[in-house]
Amino acid sequence: MQSFMRKCGAGHGMMARKMLQGKKTKELELISPSSVKLQQNLRLTKRYFSSSVSSTSKASSASEVTPTPEQLKIVALRYAVPMIGFGFTDNLVMITAGEAIDQTFGVTLGISTMTAAGFGQVCSDVAGNLSGGFVDALCAKLNLPKHHLTEAQLDMRITRYYRTAGACVGVVIGCLLGMSCLLFMDTDAADRARRAKELESIFQSVMKEGKTLFQAERASLFMLDEEKKELWSQVATGTKGIIKVDLNQTSLLGESVKSGDIVNVRDAYEDDRFNAAVDKESGFRTKSILVIPVKDENGKIIGAIQMINKKTKDGEDAEFTKDDEKLVTMMASHVTSFIRIVGGD
């Protein structure tokens, strides 16, 4: 009985395997060569359309991020205008602050012009940082045209070039406008003050000794400013502040400097070259005058020593003698040597 059951089980297994094999054979018989080719064509068509759609989307995306020339100009403009304000503020503050520092601390403490300019730049940077919001608010009120670019477009290389170029042009224009303050400033004032401080010791010693040695009421040393065509003096006995004499105006001092000759006048009011305007303004009465030009080692006139109102030991009016001329000429040579040492011309 058991052997019969085993035979039946084995027979059923063989029948099941034959049925499965028959089902697969029928399925394979249903897939014809034409259907296989059709499926292959469908797959190729699907790939073609997928690649076409992908390339089309990429092309359209590329066309969207390409800014037009007008948009690029607007980008440059919007970056240039704020930088004009920044460059103007930067240069204006740097020049004015640097010049103020140069004329005060620079002269007093002996700070160089470059150091003063560095401090001026510090002030300029601080001012630029504080005024940044004001400049941005002012630019916002200008109603500049908008470029309507996306972040991707603004990040393109060509857009960055226009942004950088616009900012550079704006800074240059702003800095040039900021330099306009130089037209209203005395840029040589600090140099004169610094030079006067360097010469102050020789000014003081020569003028004090000159007044005592020559028994003159006033003694002064004038330096020549060739560019401005004027003589200036930081120290003069009986006066305060810087004294300026215009070479284009008639004066005994200017005549000596222009001609290079010694001027020795007993009574100034009897000489047509004398300018009495100074006496009228100060209330001083000029009588005798001695002017000796100061020359450098090459014979070029760089200034003059002026003695006014020689007195006798009794305090009476007198005139300057030939010996006085020789002594003042010797004094002028010492002044030249000292000026050469301190670096003056």
If asked whether residues 172 and 215 sit together in one domain, one would say no
If asked whether residues 244 and 315 sit together in one domain, one would say yes
Instruction: List the domain range (segments joined by +) for residue 275.
Output: 190-342
Residue 16, pLDDT score:
45
If asked whether residues 159 and 216 sit together in one domain, one would say no
**Of 186, 206, 234, at which residue does a domain stop?**
186
Q: Does some domain include residue 60?
A: no
Q: Does some domain include residue 87?
A: yes
If asked whether residues 128 and 267 sit together in one domain, one would say no
If asked whether residues 206 and 143 sit together in one domain, one would say no
Residue 8, pLDDT score:
44
> At 43, is the pLDDT very low, low, confident or very high (cuts 50, 70, 90)?
low
Alpha carbon distance 265, 300 (integer Å): 24
Residue 168, pLDDT score:
96
Provide the pairing of β-strand 230-233 with 301-310: unpaired
Q: How many domains does the chain have?
A: 2
Write down the pTM of the prediction.
0.50
- Rounded to the nearest integer, the mean pLDDT of the chain is 79
Q: Does some domain include residue 45?
A: no
Q: Does some domain include residue 22?
A: no
Residue 66, pLDDT score:
82
**Of 165, 186, 207, at which residue does a domain stop?**
186
Q: Does some domain include residue 32?
A: no
pLDDT in tens, 245-298: 889 888 999 999 999 999 999 999 999 899 888 788 778 889 999 999 999 988
Q: Does some domain include residue 265?
A: yes
